[in-house]
């Protein structure tokens, strides 16, 4: 397998890459760009490789993880790779019985709703995930100057899967537990913060240059409840890598009302979904953080002139940010034409050249 040519990364040191520099709010030669869910079903080479291999098994096999992670870097020339894995991988690693069902998402065999259920979930140690360290080390060897992003799910989003037993529109059982038994809720999130934090740390210690904490579903909460029931736990997960020289990105969907609070969780970069303009987000964040985002992934299905105008607007809005990482406002949708993604990367690089 061939490595990745450092065509867009002027440096061979990922710690000096445009992504890491933008996250640290240092000047960059161009706006770095990568896409959440850049590895996955939008790529024919991914679908070919995954044929017949269940998702969770694929995530635990370093040869597959490495190849799938590199695919979008080779094809699109993005400024970062993101480890091919899933937010439920560390839960499965500590023994939670779950599956990732195609077209549905994570499904938990026995949902977690009582103290006894929580007591069955142990803390995560590096010995639970030796394959993850190995995948990261293999990737760092292949990627040269292109940084690798490690990631984990944040406590609220993981708790939602565990309590509901699978994906949920309204998070009703999660909220019933959170409001009805705050003691158990906080203990559950404390355990999940340990698992997320330790999983981020394993990746950073093996060589990931940046980490991202995904709190995909936390936009379901009002800000006051976010601060009471979620923020302390996300803060703890992010703090697990605070002593390593690895910038942290914190992202959630529908989090316009939560942005200022999410900023205080400790990450250097706040991810912004497509419902809030970067200009408004920067105002809500008081200009204190780098921002990541935020093209609506559905806009990639519109005519190119529309895509181009929106990319130009977002790059322009990002110019006044202390740091800007171009991304989508949520993950790549499976039916996206990959040629459009490549074109977006080229356009961002061209118009943001300093
Ligand atoms: O390229 C990347 O971004 C890295 C890979 C990645 C995956 N999952 C691979 C995956 C990342 C970062 C995740 C995180 C993840 N997983 C999140 C947080 C990000 C987000 O989108 O909000 C969440 C909520 C999950 C849970 C999950 N796993 C869902 C909702 C799904 C989709 C289910 C479906 O089939 O529609 C999964 C499965 C999954 N994770 C796939 C991939 C490529 C699809 C599985 C397949 O290809 O069969």
Atom 43 of ligand 1: nearest residue by CA position: 40
Gap from CA of 128 to ligand 1 centroid (Å): 21
Atom 24 of ligand 1: nearest residue by CA position: 216
Top mutation candidate among 35, 37, 47 for ligand 1, by most atoms within 8 Å of CB? 37
pLDDT more than 90, % of the chain: 96
Q: Does ligand 1 come within 6 angstroms of the Cβ of 37?
A: yes
Identify any residues that bridge with 153 across adjacent strands, giving them in sequence order. Answer: 214
Enzyme catalytic residues: 37, 41, 50, 86, 161
Which pLDDT band, with edges at 50, 70 and 90, does 6 fall under? very low
pTM score > 0.75 for this model?
yes
Identify any residues that bridge with 293 across adjacent strands, giving them in sequence order. Answer: 326
Query: Considering only CA atoms, which of 34, 80, 39 is closest in space to residue 58?
Result: 39
Domain definitions of the chain by residue range: 14-351
Q: Quick: pLDDT tens for 99-152.
A: 999 999 999 999 999 999 999 999 999 999 999 999 999 999 999 999 999 999
Distance in angstroms (rounded) separating the CA atoms of residues 150 and 108: 24
Taking CA atoms, 146 is separated from 50, 63, 78, 192, in Å, by 24, 19, 9, 30
What integer is the mean pLDDT of 43-71? 97
Q: Where are the beta strands (DSSP E) in 110-239?
A: 148-153, 210-215
Top mutation candidate among 64, 87, 108, 151 for ligand 1, by most atoms within 8 Å of CB? 87
Specify the CATH class of 14-351 in words: alpha beta
Q: Does ligand 1 come within 6 angstroms of the Cβ of 84?
A: yes
The tokens of 16 are what?
Answer: 């000096």
Q: Quick: pLDDT tens for 155-197.
A: 999 999 999 999 999 999 999 999 999 999 999 999 999 999 9
Which pLDDT band, with edges at 50, 70 and 90, does 11 fall under? confident
Distance in angstroms (rounded) separating the CA atoms of residues 62 and 84: 10
pLDDT of the residue at 7: 47
């Amino acid at each position: 397998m061939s490595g990745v040519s450092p065509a867009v990364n002027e440096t061979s040191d990922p710690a000096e890459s445009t992504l890491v520099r933008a996250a640290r709010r240092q000047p960059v030669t161009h706006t770095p760009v990568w896409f959440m869910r850049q590895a996955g079903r939008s790529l024919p080479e991914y679908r070919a490789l995954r044929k017949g291999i269940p998702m969770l098994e694929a995530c635990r096999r370093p040869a597959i993880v490495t190849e799938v992670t590199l695919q979008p870097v080779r094809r699109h020339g993005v400024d970062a790779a993101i480890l091919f894995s899933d937010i439920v991988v560390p839960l499965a690693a500590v023994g939670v019985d779950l599956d990732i069902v195609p077209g549905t998402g994570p499904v938990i065999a026995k949902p977690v709703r009582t103290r006894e259920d929580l007591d069955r979930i142990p803390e995560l140690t590096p010995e639970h995930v030796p394959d993850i360290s190995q995948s990261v080390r293999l990737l760092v060897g292949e990627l040269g100057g292109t940084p690798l992003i490690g990631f984990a799910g944040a406590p609220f989003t993981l708790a939602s899967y565990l309590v509901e037993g699978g994906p949920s529109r309204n998070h009703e059982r999660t909220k019933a537990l959170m409001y009805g038994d705050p003691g158990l809720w906080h203990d559950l999130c404390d355990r999940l913060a340990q698992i997320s934090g330790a999983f981020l740390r394993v990746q950073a210690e093996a060589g990931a240059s940046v980490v991202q904490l995904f709190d995909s579903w936390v936009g379901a909460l009002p800000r006051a409840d976010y601060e009471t029931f979620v923020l302390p736990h996300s803060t703890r997960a992010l703090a697990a890598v605070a002593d390593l020289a690895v910038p942290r990105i914190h992202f959630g969907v529908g989090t316009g009302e939560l942005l200022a609070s999410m900023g205080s969780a400790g990450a250097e970069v706040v991810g912004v979904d497509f419902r809030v303009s970067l200009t408004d987000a920067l105002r809500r964040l008081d200009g204190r953080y780098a921002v990541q985002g935020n093209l609506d992934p559905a806009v990639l299905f519109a005519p190119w002139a529309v895509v181009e105008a929106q990319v130009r607007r977002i790059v322009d809005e990002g110019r006044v940010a202390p740091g800007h990482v171009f991304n989508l406002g949520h993950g790549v949708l499976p039916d996206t034409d990959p040629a459009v993604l490549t074109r977006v990367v080229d356009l961002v690089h061209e118009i943001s050249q300093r």
